[in-house]
Amino acid sequence: MNLTLKVWRQKNATDHGRIETYEARSIPAEASFLEMLDIVNERLIEGGGEPIHFDHDCREGICGMCSLTINGVPHSKERGITTCQVHMRKFRDGDTIWIEPFRARAFPVVRDLVVDRTAFDRIVAAGGFISVRTGSAQDANALPVPKDDADASFAAAACIGCGACVAACKNASAMLFVGAKAAHLNLLPQGKPEQDKRVLAMVRQMDAEGFGGCTNQYECEAVCPKEISADVIAKLNRDYTAAAVKEAVC
Amino acid sequence: MASNGSPLHSAVPSGPLADKWTKHKNESKLINPANKRKYSVIVVGSGLAGGSAAATLSELGYQVKCFCYQDSPRRAHSIAAQGGINAAKNYQNDGDSVYRLFYDTIKGGDFRAREANVYRLAEVSANIIDQCVAQGVPFAREYGGLLDNRSFGGAQVSRTFYAAGQTGQQLLIGCYQALSKEIARGGVKMYSRTEMLDLVLVDGHAKGIIVRDLVTGEISRHAADCVILATGGYGNVFYLSTNAMGCNVMAAFRAHKRGAYFANPCYTQIHPTCIPVSGDYQSKLTLMSESLRNDGRVWAPKKKEDAEAIRTGRKIAADIAEDDRDYFLERKYPSFGNLAPRDVSSRSAKEACDEGRGVAPTGLGVYLDFRDAIQRLGRNTIEARYGNLFQMYEKIAGTDPYTSPMMIYPAVHYTMGGLWVDYNLMSNIPGLHVLGEANFSDHGANRLGASALMQGLADGYFVIPATLPNYLAGQKPGTVKTDDPAFAEAEEAARARIHQLLSVNGKRTVDSFHRELGMLVWDKCGMARNEPGLKEALARIPAIREEFWSNVRVPGEGANLNAELEKAGRVADFIDFAELMCHDALNREESCGGHFREEYQFTEADDDVKSGYTNPGEAKRRDDAFCHVSAWESAGPGNTPILHIEPLAFEAVKLSVRSYK
């Protein structure tokens, strides 16, 4: 198939950036979207140009590294997949495709479609963990966890930290990401002792990183490749409020 | 095969197998808490092995620097492991024990692993599960709230813990969270988007690394009291593999060039259940978890005509009558059936396709069929067990596995070989320690399913924290600084190499060389190898190298994010590494595990075949000549590497012909 690509090119963080047009000819329909970019890049290099930079690694939808928008939608308009899981058979011959980086103040562009998402790492470092020293754990079956709690925790833990939720949100809010991490840990008995400290620290770090507030548009849920429910945001708000009240009265 | 180098000392403690680790811990050196904080440790890699080591060493008080090429330590390729992690908990009361996990692993490795290491791995496996649960890893649970288990290949007990089809992700996130906690506390300084370019040796000891900041291109020196490599395997030498695109052998190979021995590089694991290749644009292959073989049945048509009809679209799987289907794993290995180990299952699939019974359009594919399981258990149960895997398959292949069987074919997945390490996980270079897939020690010639996660976490959480003081206690902390001439020399060499890559300015892309190399090694050093093929590969690799260095095109500059430059450095090392791999495969004149030399297989003339113990065509070991680890020393570019041998002594198990019949 033949396609026209409109791609965001930006040399580095200080460059202004612009959309450039590329013709992608004879692309196999079985190729993945990123393989299509590989083909375009090989031709660019052979023609003396510089390839389009994009983040990618596992190419099976689990590492969370790939991060671009296709026709304005983070990853893809198809539900529950990452960019690397998009296949060209979903497009039509002759289509024009707009490819841009995830846009958010807290995710500065590094080059072309590559953005810096280390803000997420700093949010997790603020409290997204259970403090347990290696070697100090009791037998794994000593603490039964009701299956429903374990399943709900797992569903939240499925977050791959890709940042699509932020890119989709008009406020560039990171509430789905933070809510998922908080729910994963707060739903488990192991995570209870640090729950209050965790939500306060993570939310404050989120604000410090420049992410916006949540106004309940649920764009995040719609684009999340792991289909994490926006319910985790409601839970985060509850947990945060409770923790903030306790903090205020203590 | 006689070695031409000096023998190796594995530092395995004396005494009965079951007591060795305890005895070793009791006799190992200790460093008191006040002194630990004076020592610095470099950890390269942030997957299960590197991440768990960095977090745990920081908890103990060491100053840790951790490096990864990804934008976050959470993205290391351990994340992609699907099926599970083994542990000898015996929660199922099905007769499991440390000994059985040990025995299955050593037999699964075709008796080519170091007995004491494997026993230790089985011994600490139970602690790993405890640790992960305490961290909040959401393993699958039963309705009573206790942990659930499933079965995996090469075992007759259910000892695999799992979190749906994303066990690796959940374990890595547990590890990443522990690492994040230490980063926040200041114990670990994390360098993401940073790649190791060279190892620095001072007076023969590993004391630092040279790295490149992948965003700014800045090259910098880092000194420490010891270096730990946890940089994964070399599967991407084949170009197409289930590895992430960035997985590479550079760190391990740079260390090899600085003197570290590379052990058993010919041991590569070809995983039986991957989505078949569909075209030459393909960038990677996707694994479908081995756990699918718990309920899926592997088959190919008995008749070539049926296979031909399927390939050309005249028939579909459902048109093939039950009697015309060959469930070849169940037929050949009745006691293990579809859960035969990976090497054995892969070769069986290849055999069926080589006979013209493949069903994929390319002829290279067999069925993995859930029809019977769906009839027996219902669609909902199958969906609960494998829903995300079925969805993944549907996205890539475009067909629905609930209604028509999956097509699968073997693909490169894991590499058992790696840098040689002793019982302390220290290489032959003092101070250089190697963990996880990057070392060679625990899986012999074939790794069993759900054992990679186990090894990575065993090494990082439990082994290295106990063994590192054996080296560090003999070192005065902080003596080496980055102004040592050895750093200047290594930095200069790294800069020169980057300059060289950028200045060739030839006509071919890096990927075109990688594809050419990959096809050659897949063809000659893949699922089956033979002497003429390996010799041909060894003759052709130097030509690829020569053309690479004279005709590669690396656009852009060094002082910027430059993906082509990163790839070029990695492919340059893969070319040299491929040569080493083929040397090892040629030298090992036997078949064992993932290393199948066509000259060495069972035939109708063998007693074990006549007695019905094994099948013709199975791998035939030569314990008299090859019951050893082959550790290769670099002899410089273009020269045949020097072989060092570590004999494998088995005290607790009796070597036997590996049969899964």
pLDDT tens digits for B592-606?
A: 999 999 999 999 999
Is A116 near chain B, with CB under 8 Å? yes
Residues A48 and A15 in one domain: yes
Beta strands in B539-659 (DSSP E): 628-633, 642-647
pLDDT tens digits for B391-426?
A: 889 888 889 999 999 999 999 999 999 999 999 999
Is B37 near chain A, with CB under 8 Å? no
Average pLDDT over residues B285-306: 93
Cβ contact B245–A61 (<8 Å): no
CB < 8 Å to A33, chain B: none
Domain that holds residue A222: 117-249
CB < 8 Å to A116, chain B: 71
Tell me which fold the domain B271-411 belongs to: Flavocytochrome C3; Chain A, domain 1 (3.90.700)
Residues A91 and A174 in one domain: no
Interface ipTM: 0.98
Integer angstrom CA distances of residue B117 from B17, B154, B440, B466, B632: 10, 19, 11, 14, 20
Min Cα distance A121 → chain B (Å) is 7
Is A75 near chain B, with CB under 8 Å? no
Give the CATH number, domain containing residue A15.
3.10.20.30
Closest partner residue to B71 (CB to CB) among A51, A65, A188 is: A65
Integer angstrom CA distances of residue B604 from B611, B613, B618: 10, 12, 11
Q: Which of A49, A84, A111 is the last residue of a domain?
A: A111
Average pLDDT over residues B423-447: 97
**Residue B552 carries which DSSP code?**
B
Average pLDDT over residues A163-180: 98
Give the CATH number, domain containing residue A241.
1.10.1060.10
Q: Which residues pair with A111 in a beta bridge?
A: A114
Q: Sign of dihedral through CA atoms A139, A141, A147, A148?
A: negative
Domain count, chain A: 2
Mean pLDDT of chain B: 95
Average pLDDT over residues B270-276: 93
Confidence of residue B3 (pLDDT cuts 50, 70, 90): low
pLDDT tens digits for B277-295?
A: 988 899 999 988 888 998 9
- The CATH code for residues B76-172+438-479 is 3.50.50.60
Q: List CB contacts of B89: < 8 A, sequence separation 6 or more.
A: A140, A141, B96, B125, B126, B129, B147, B159, B161
Cβ contact A60–B133 (<8 Å): no
Confidence of residue B661 (pLDDT cuts 50, 70, 90): confident
Confidence of residue B1 (pLDDT cuts 50, 70, 90): very low
Closest partner residue to A59 (CB to CB) among B132, B145, B245 is: B245
CB < 8 Å to A37, chain B: none
Is B559 near chain A, with CB under 8 Å? no
Residues A199 and A80 in one domain: no
CB < 8 Å to A191, chain B: 136
Instruction: Kindly report which listed range (B332-336, B452-456, B514-518) carries the lowest average pLDDT score.
Output: B332-336
Cβ contact B177–A130 (<8 Å): yes
Closest partner residue to B136 (CB to CB) among A34, A117, A184 is: A184
Min Cα distance B196 → chain A (Å) is 18
Average pLDDT over residues A75-96: 95
Q: Which residues pair with B628 in a beta bridge?
A: B647
Is A172 near chain B, with CB under 8 Å? no
Chain B residues 517-556 with CB within 8 Å of chain A? 553, 555-556
Distance CA B94, CA B112 (A): 27
Is A145 near chain B, with CB under 8 Å? yes
Residues A131 and A230 in one domain: yes
Is A184 near chain B, with CB under 8 Å? yes
Residues A156 and A79 in one domain: no
- Cβ–Cβ pairs < 8 A, chains A and B: 216
Is A126 near chain B, with CB under 8 Å? yes
Cβ contact B282–A129 (<8 Å): no
Chain B residues 259-288 with CB within 8 Å of chain A? 278-279, 281-284, 286-287
Check if the beta carbon of residue B535 is closer than 8 Å to that of residue B586: yes
Min Cα distance A103 → chain B (Å) is 17
At residue B398, the pLDDT reads 86
Closest partner residue to A188 (CB to CB) among B136, B143, B164 is: B136
Residues A207 and A245 in one domain: yes
pLDDT tens digits for A19-40?
A: 999 999 999 998 999 999 999 9
CB < 8 Å to A52, chain B: none
Residue B535 dihedral angles phi and psi, to the nearest 5°: -65, -35
At residue B660, the pLDDT reads 85
Tokens 């306790």, located at residue:
A246
Instruction: Sketch the domain layout of chain B as residue ranges.
Output: 76-172+438-479, 271-411, 485-647
Residue B482 has pLDDT above 80, yes or no: yes
What residues of B are labeled active site? 342
Residues A125 and A243 in one domain: yes
Residues A85 and A188 in one domain: no
Q: Which of A111, A146, A174 is the last residue of a domain?
A: A111
Helices and strands: H and E segment counts in chain B: 20, 19
Nearest to A206 by CA among A133, A132, A134, A104: A104
Closest partner residue to B130 (CB to CB) among A30, A81, A137 is: A137
Taking domain B485-647, whether its CATH number is 1.10.3720.10 is answered by: no
Distance CA A41, CA A32 (A): 14
Closest partner residue to A190 (CB to CB) among B136, B287, B512 is: B136
Cβ contact A140–B509 (<8 Å): no
Chain B residues 313-342 with CB within 8 Å of chain A? none
Residue B13 has pLDDT above 60, yes or no: yes
Instruction: Kindly report which listed range (A227-241, B140-154, B299-313, B456-470) carries the lowest average pLDDT score.
Output: B140-154
Residue A227 has pLDDT above 50, yes or no: yes
Residues A131 and A98 in one domain: no
- CA nearest B54 in A: which residue? A134
At residue B244, the pLDDT reads 98
Tokens 């644009």, located at residue:
B281
Instruction: Kindly report which listed range (B28-32, B148-152, B509-513, B560-564) carries the lowest average pLDDT score.
Output: B148-152
Q: Which of A111, A133, A156 is the last residue of a domain?
A: A111
Residues A15 and A137 in one domain: no
